[in-house]
Structure 1
Amino acid sequence: MAQSRLEKIGTIFTRVQGLLRGGAMKAEDKPIWYDVYAAFPPKAEPRFDRVAPEVPVKKIFYGEDVVRAKLHRQNKPQETISLLDNRRSSQSQQFVQIYQNLKTQGALDDQKIYETALDLLAEQRQQSRLEATPEEAAPELDTETKTQLLSDFKEASESQATKSSSPPTPPKTKRDAGVGINIDSLFKD
């Protein structure tokens, strides 16, 4: 059984067990899960032909899911979302927050709350667009870095315009002074 890779013959446990007994796998190379599986075997052996149990899938909805689905169905928010940016909330998150704030006040019915939240979101987005300036768009870059980037961009565009046959040499900056790596020697073959 150890020589077979077919999932229909035995289980992964019995195949690893056969490899260990036959000497094809060293004891130090055995998987981490092997000892746990041997100590606590499952009640039903995990075979390919075992019938899956009929378990009904529970529907899990939160109140905000219904509101968000209604927003996306009717208005289709068009924005680019970066999953790496945790500081900025998405348009649908802002809408749900406004909706929940209005709902806690309890003065309106659901449809009026939805329409009011849409209006407030539009006002908030318009106000944030007016307040944003190019300097605020990149506050983490200081003036020295911006000028360095601008000069690097100009150098690159000039070297690209000349279309010289030799590869352009990178500009020497403070960052390159202590590096000491010759890139050309890395890729010689």
Structure 2
Amino acid sequence: MAQSRLEKIGTIFTRVQGLLRGGAMRSEDKPIWYDVYAAFPPKAEPRFDRPAPEIPVRNIFYAEDVVRAKLHKQNRPQETINLLDHRRTTQSQHFVKIYQDLKSQGALDEQRIYDTALDLLAEQRQQSRLDTAAAEENLPELDAEVKTQLVSDFKEAASNQQITSSTSPAPSKARKDTGVGINIDSLFKD
């Protein structure tokens, strides 16, 4: 064998290099990263026994994160969120947008901006509920239109089928001979 496959001996680069030299791996099969690593080796070799650097992890907070956290702490979310739907914005996104718009005007302090944004969000929710209720009231009229359209479409299809069956009698006789027991011509008669 060209070299050991144990991860504690050498690096992945030295192991692939050994496989290439020993003929266990063809040069066409070498990984894409091999030539890049050979051309630009890292400053510190990535070995198993190398200690991890002690770099402190920075906290990354955006201004809207603090506002969103305050919103969710004081008000329990009342919506179901579909993570696959990118077109619809959530209530917290609406709230942050309202909050930022009010803050950009600069006339109020932080607490008043927060309270005003909550009130405006509640008004928007109420308005959307009213719009939904109004749309549901208009549905019966729409249903009547859809029903008449469906009835006319079925009548048209029935008349088209009767015309087709009267012009070509041979296929209808073949259907009757199959033994299914259903006469399609009689289904659409008035």
When normalised by structure 2's length, the TM-score is: 0.65
Question: Residue by residue, what CA displacement relative to the aligned partner does 1:150-189 show, whole Å, maximum 9, x if unpaired?
Answer: xxxxxxxxxxxxxxxxxxxxxxxxxxxxxxxxxxxxxxxx
CA offset at residue 112 of structure 1?
1.4
* Amino acid corresponding to residue 105 of structure 2 in structure 1: Q
Alignment of 1:66-77 (within 5 A): 66-77=66-77
Equivalenced residues, count: 138
State the partner residue of 1:174: none
CA offset at residue 38 of structure 1?
0.5
20 and 109 in structure 1: CA distance in 2 versus 1, 3 angstrom threshold: same
Alignment of 1:131-150 (within 5 A): 131-132=131-132, 133=135
* Amino acid corresponding to residue 119 of structure 1 in structure 2: D
Q: How far apart in 2 are the matches of 1:55 and 1:99?
A: 35
Q: Is the 8 A contact 1:2 1:16 kept in 2?
A: no
* Amino acid corresponding to residue 59 of structure 1 in structure 2: N
2 and 113 in structure 1: CA distance in 2 versus 1, 3 angstrom threshold: farther
CA offset at residue 3 of structure 1?
5.0
31 and 103 in structure 1: CA distance in 2 versus 1, 3 angstrom threshold: same
Question: Residue by residue, what CA displacement relative to the aligned partner does 1:76-125 show, whole Å, maximum 9, x if unpaired?
Answer: 31322223322211111111000011112222211111111111112112
CA offset at residue 58 of structure 1?
2.2
Q: How far apart in 1 are the matches of 2:2 and 2:117?
A: 64
CA offset at residue 65 of structure 1?
1.2
Alignment RMSD: 2.3
* Amino acid corresponding to residue 52 of structure 2 in structure 1: A
State the partner residue of 2:8: 8
State the partner residue of 2:109: 109
State the partner residue of 1:86: 86
- The more displaced of 77-86 and 31-40 is 77-86
Alignment of 1:12-161 (within 5 A): 12-132=12-132, 133=135
Over the matched positions of the two proteins, sequence identity in percent amounts to 80
Q: Structure 2, unaligned stretches of length 5 or more?
A: 140-145, 151-190
Question: Residue by residue, what CA displacement relative to the aligned partner does 1:30-52 show, whole Å, maximum 9, x if unpaired?
Answer: 11100000000001000121111
Structure of higher RCO (CA pairs closer than 8 Å, 6+ residues apart): 2
Q: How far apart in 1 are the matches of 2:30 and 2:15?
A: 12
Q: How far apart in 1 are the matches of 2:67 and 2:93?
A: 11
* Amino acid corresponding to residue 123 of structure 2 in structure 1: E
Max Rg structure: 2
When normalised by structure 1's length, the TM-score is: 0.65
- The more displaced of 114-123 and 125-134 is 125-134
Which structure shows the bigger proportion of residues in helix conformation? 2
